[in-house]
Chain A
C-alpha cells in the first residue's frame, strides 16, 4: 500500500492502532546527524546508542563511523554520522531513509544527501560552508545556490556561532563549547516534531555526571537554545509525502509546492509575453516564493519586497494597470489586509493574481501549520458583491500548472484570481514530470490601440464579458478608472442605482462565466456509487489513498478533487448527484461543505479538523467506513 501520511509512517494497515478516541498512526521521524569525525558526531551518537533501555524504546540509533579514523577534517572520508529514530511508539529499527539530515559540513552533505527522503528537511551548519570547506568536499559550485537542494526544505543556520554564544555563560573551553552544537540541532529537531525535551535532558544528565556535570548543563542549554531558535524561525513541519505510485515515463526532478509555484508564474510570464512583477511582504509559509522569484532577474523577473501587505498588492495592481503580470503572494493574515485592494481590482477589472499559502488561523494563528480555512475568506471576504476566480492546486507539482492557469484566467476575464495553496503543499515535495514547454498553450496578450477610434474602457467582449485591457501609453484611448462605480460601457463615474445593479451583475456573471474555460471535475473510480469523497487543494493524496484502500476492501466509493473553487466546474452538481452520499474532508470546519450545500441543496457530510496537520489516510478511511458501514450501503457480496 502506498504511504501518504506523515513522515516515515508505516502503511496504515499495519501501523494504525486504536488508542482512546480513534485511529492514531505511528509517526516516526528519522534524523541523521552527519559531520566531521571531529565534530563530536560519535560522542552524541554514542549518547543515544549507549543504553536505549534507559529511556525505553522510543529512540533507536544507528551510528556510522568513518573507516579511516584519521581522515583529514572536512573531507568525504572523514564524514561520520549517526541516525536516530524518534518515535511516539515502540520501534525496533533505526529506519532507513532519513526525514531530516543535519549536515555539519559540505562533505557530510555530499555523502548523505542522496539518502534524504524527497521533500525532507535539510539543516546545514552555515558556519562551516565557506569556500575552503566546499572545496575540501569536492564541490565546484555551492550546492546551496546551484539548485542541487531544490525539493528539500533547507535551513542554512549559523549553528556553531549561535550555539557557542548560548553556552558562553558556562565558561567551557571553545572546543568543548562547539561540541554542544549537536545538542543544539537536536533541539531544533525536537521543536519541529513536537518532541518534549525532557527525554533528552534526562539522558544528558545520566551521561554527564560527577565532574562532568558542567557539560550536562552546557548540553542542556544548547538543546534548549536550538529548540527556541526553531520556535522563532517559524520552521514549517507538515511535509507532503508521496504515493509510491507508478510514474509515467519522462524526465523527473524533485520539486516543492513553493518552487513549483514560482516556476509556474515564471512560465506564465513567458506564455503571455508580458513581464512579471512579484510584490510581496515576507510571511510564513509564502516567503520562499519571494526568494525563488528574486533569483530570476536574468529572466527579466522583477520582485519587490513591499513595506506591507497592502503595498504589495497595490504594486501588483499598478503593474497590471500598466499591462504587466501583477502578482502578489501571502498567507491568510495578509489576505485580510489586501481585501480592500482586491475589491479595487474587481472594480477596475484588472488581472491580478493573489497567492494565498494558507496556514492555521485566525489572526497569527499557527504560522507553521497547515490549514484550509481561508476558502470563504478568498471567495467572499470583501465588502460588496465582489466576485473573484479561485483556483487551488492539489499537489506540489500541480502548483506549476495552476499558477499558469491563474494568469490565463485572470487575463482572459480581466479579473483578480486567488491561487490557494497551503503550508503542506508549499513545503512538501514530490517527483515532478518536467513539462514540455512547447506543449503548453500560449496566451499571448495584445492590447487594443486607438487606430479605430476611441474604445470605451468598460465595453465588453461578447464571449467573456471582459473589458478591454487598455494600457497607459496608448494614444487616443486615454480614460480614467477607479474604485467608484462606473457607468456601463463608458466607464464614467455613476451613482445611478440601476447602473450599479447592472454593473454588479455584470461582474458576477463575468466570473461565473469563466466556467466555460475550466475543465470538468474528474472522478477517480466509478462514476456512480454509494459515496463520493470530494476534496479540494492539498488533501488530494490522503483522500485518494483512503478511497483506494476502501475500494480494495469492496466499498463503493470514488473520489474527486476540486481545483477550481470559484466558479465550480460545470459538471459539479451532476457528479455530486451520481452518488448516494457525499463526504467532504477539509482542514477547516466545513467551508466547502457550506458552499456546496447552499449551491446545490445537497446534504454534504463533513470530515473536519484544524489540528495544523494534514489528514491521515486512516482518518478519512474510518469516516468512509462509518458512513458506509450500514448493511444497505455495503456493496453486495463483499
Chain B
C-alpha cells in the first residue's frame, strides 16, 4: 500500500435498497468490490468521483445502483460500448463494466470481443452464474450441455462457451477468474485488474441460489477447493491439492498436447508446468482455460497479463501527432478548403 486510504468501504455504499435475492452470490461480489475500492483509490491516487460503473441488463447489472459512484445501468449487452465511448472521451476516469453470462456472452457477445480486441482501458467483471436469473431461469450460453431449465425441459442441445477461452481468442491483455465468495482471491484479481493498462477481464463464479443453486459446488465449495481448484501464480509451478502434492504436467507427442494431473513426488520438477501469465503466446492460458472438474482442478487467478498499447492512448497520440504535423486545426481555413470564389 502506497498511500493512506482516503476512503472507507462505506464511501462506496449507496443508499439504494439492494434487491438481489437473499443468499445471492452477487452480494459477495458487491462486498468485495466495496472493500477493495478504498485500497485501489489509495494505490492509484484516484478520487471516488472518477470511478464509473457501467452495466448492461440482468441481475448482475443492478450493481452500479449499489455503489456510491457514478453509475450507468444501460441496455442489454451494450455496456462495453457505452464504457468505450466514455473512456475514450474521458481517459482520466476509471471505468468498470459489470456484466453477466447472458449479457456479456449472449446478447452482448459481439461488443465484448471487440472491446477486448481493442484493448479499451476498462475493467470488465463478468458474473457467471450459468443461468438467466432476472428472467427466472432459462439456460445461458455457459449452462452445461443438456441442462434442464424452463426453456429446455428436455435438456439443452447446445454446448456451453468458456468465457476465458473467448477472452483469449479476443486477444484480451488481462484475463482472470475468481470465486465470488473468496475474499482474498477477489481482492487480488480486482487490484490487479484496476492497475492493468488496457481491458481487464475477470470471470467471477457467482452462485444463483434461486435458479441454479450449487452450480460451482463441485470445486468452489470450501471442502472441495483444495482438490478441485488450482491457484495460478506467475512464474510458479501449477500445483494444488493438500500440501501441494499434485501438479499439472504437459504431455506432448504425436501432434497432441495433453495436460495431466501428476503427483509431485512421482515426477521430476522440470516436468511440472510453470505458469507464465506474461507470455505473448496464448496457447498456455488457453490450455489452462480448458481444465475442468472432475478430471482437472479449475484454475483461478490471473491467466494472462500482457502489456499492449491501449486504444484510447493511441487515439490521443494520433490527435497529438496530427496537431504537430498539420498544426492545430484552423476552422476558418478548413471551411475554405479547395477552390473558393467571390460573388
Contact = CB atoms under 8 A, between A and B. Distances in A.
Interface of A: 146-151, 247-254, 263, 266-267, 270, 275, 277, 279, 296-300, 302, 304, 306-308, 310-324, 326, 340-341, 343-344, 348, 434-435, 437, 471-484, 492-493
Contacts of A472: 49-50, 52, 70, 86, 90, 93
A252 B85 contact: no
Contacts of B64: 480, 482
Contact of A321 (B86, B335, B339): B86
Interface string B310-343: 0000010011001101111101101111111111
B84 interface: yes
Nearest to B320: A297
A476 B49 contact: yes
A589 B71 CA distance: 44
A314 B343 contact: no
Interface in B69-117: 69-76, 78, 80-90, 92-93, 110-111, 114
Contact of A481 (B67, B72, B331): B72
Contacts of B331: 266-267, 270, 299, 437
A312 B84 CA distance: 10
Contact of A480 (B14, B47, B328, B329): B14
B228 interface: no
A312 B88 CA distance: 13
Contact of A318 (B67, B82, B92): B82
A482 B318 contact: no
Contacts of A299: 328-329, 331, 334
Nearest to A311: B81
B65 interface: yes
Given A437-B331, A480-B16, A314 B323 contact: no
A437 B335 contact: yes
Interface string B52-76: 1011010000001101111111111
B88 A302 contact: yes
Given A315-B81, A481-B72, A481-B73, A308 B89 contact: no
B78 A341 contact: yes
Contacts of A344: 74-75
Nearest to A315: B85
A317 B56 CA distance: 13
Given A266-B334, A322-B86, 5 more contacts: A253-B341, A266-B331, A314-B80, A316-B85, A326-B85
Interface string B115-159: 000000000000000000000000000000000000000000000
A297 B14 contact: no
Contacts of A493: 16, 65
B48 interface: yes
Contacts of A148: 338-339
6 contacts: A300-B323, A311-B81, A472-B52, A475-B47, A480-B73, A481-B71
Contacts of A484: 73
B291 to A, nearest CB: 30
B69 A298 contact: no
A151 B338 contact: yes
Contacts of B50: 472-473
B78 A311 contact: yes
B340 A253 contact: yes
Contacts of A316: 85
A60 to B, nearest CB: 30
B88 A315 contact: yes
Contact of B339 (A254, A318, A341): A254
A475 B70 CA distance: 10
Contacts, number: 207
A112 to B, nearest CB: 14
A147 B337 contact: yes
B85 A277 contact: yes
B78 to A, nearest CB: 5
**Residue among B49, B69, B111, B338 with the highest chain A CB neighbour number at 10 A:** B338
Given A344-B74, A472-B93, A478 B68 contact: yes
A317 B57 CA distance: 16
Given A252-B343, A253-B337, A341-B75, A473 B90 contact: yes
A310 B50 CA distance: 26
Contacts of A306: 81, 114
Contacts of A252: 340-343
A275 B89 contact: yes
B300 to A, nearest CB: 30
B7 to A, nearest CB: 12
Interface in B18-74: 47-50, 52, 54-55, 57, 64-65, 67-74
A126 B111 CA distance: 35
A277 B334 CA distance: 19
A297 B83 CA distance: 21
A348 B322 contact: no
Given A270-B331, A437-B331, A478-B48, A279 B85 contact: yes
Given A299-B329, A437-B332, A314 B111 contact: yes
B65 A314 contact: no
The 5 A-B pairs of least Cβ separation, nearest first, read A318-B85, A314-B81, A482-B73, A147-B337, A299-B329
Question: Interface centre among A311, A313, A326, A492, by most B CB within 10 Å?
Answer: A311
Contacts of B329: 296, 298-300
Contacts of A253: 335-341
Contacts of A279: 85
Nearest to A270: B331
Contacts of B76: 340
A546 B93 CA distance: 56
B340 A480 contact: no
A272 to B, nearest CB: 13
B343 A483 contact: no
B110 A311 contact: yes
Given A319-B85, A476-B49, A314 B338 contact: no
B343 A248 contact: yes
Contacts of B319: 297-298, 300, 302
B98 to A, nearest CB: 12
B16 A492 contact: yes
A478 B335 contact: no
Contacts of B48: 478
Contacts of A475: 47, 49
Contacts of A266: 331, 334
